[in-house]
Amino acid sequence: MQAFNIRQLKNNPSAALRAAHDDDMVVIMNRDNPTALLVDLEKVVAQDLDSVKVSLAISLFKKGVISLGSAARMAKLSLPDMMTLLSSLDIPLTGNKANDARNDMETLREFMNKV
C-alpha cells in the first residue's frame, strides 16, 4: 500500500493509478489525515467486474456525471440495450429530472404555435 498526498495526486495522477494497479490500494492523504482510497477495480472485484461496471454506469448516468453513450460504453452494452436497461429501472433518458421531457415538449409546442 502506498500513500499519496493531494498535491502528488494532482501533479501526477498516473503514478497513483499505477500504484493502485500494482499494490491493490493507495491511500489519499489530506495533510496527515487519510481521506480516500484508490483501488484497482480489476483486483478488488475481479469475479464480477462487468456487473460492477454496469452498476457504476447506471449510477453515474443517473446523477448526470456521464452521458448515455458513455454509460453504454462503460457498461459494455449497445446504446439500445443501455436505453432499455435504464428504462426498465425507471431512469429518465433525457436529463436527470422527471419534468425535463415534459418541459422540452412544452417548449416545442410553444415554438410550433409561433411558426
pLDDT tens, position by position, 8-20: 999 999 999 999 9
* Interatomic CA distance for residues 95 and 106, integer angstroms: 15
**pTM of this prediction?**
0.64
Single-letter amino acid, residue 54? V
C-alpha cell of residue 82: 443501455
Interacting residues of 55 by C-beta distance below 8 A, sequence separation 6+: none
Residues 39-93: pLDDT tens digits? Answer: 888 877 667 888 889 999 999 999 888 888 899 999 999 999 999 999 999 998 8
Report H helices in the chain: 6-11, 13-23, 41-44, 49-62, 68-75, 79-88, 100-114
Q: Under CATH, to which class is 2-44 assigned?
A: alpha beta
